[in-house]
Amino acid sequence: MASLYSPQSQAGVLSFYDAPAKGPKINPKIVLIAVIIFAFAVIILDHFIYV
């Protein structure tokens, strides 16, 4: 019976994720903080609009 896992089938996925990406390098902590600040701002503005 043939095995479902083979290194050849995973090689394409690994080479895809290992390829250098073009564009700016952003620290994940900065993205997380920006999302939290944005969500907080939306909640605050929503509260002031519907009061």
The model's pLDDT over 1-51, given as tens digits with 9 standing for 90+, comes to 455 555 555 555 555 556 677 888 889 999 999 999 999 999 999 988 876
Residue 41: what pLDDT?
A: 96
pTM exceeding the 0.85 threshold for the entire prediction: no
Domain boundaries, the chain: 27-51
Check residue 29 and give its pLDDT: 96
* 3-state helix/strand/coil string of 1-51: CCCCCCHHHHHHHHHHHHCCCCCCCCCHHHHHHHHHHHHHHHHHHHHHHCC
Q: Return the pLDDT at 23.
A: 80
pLDDT of residue 48: 87
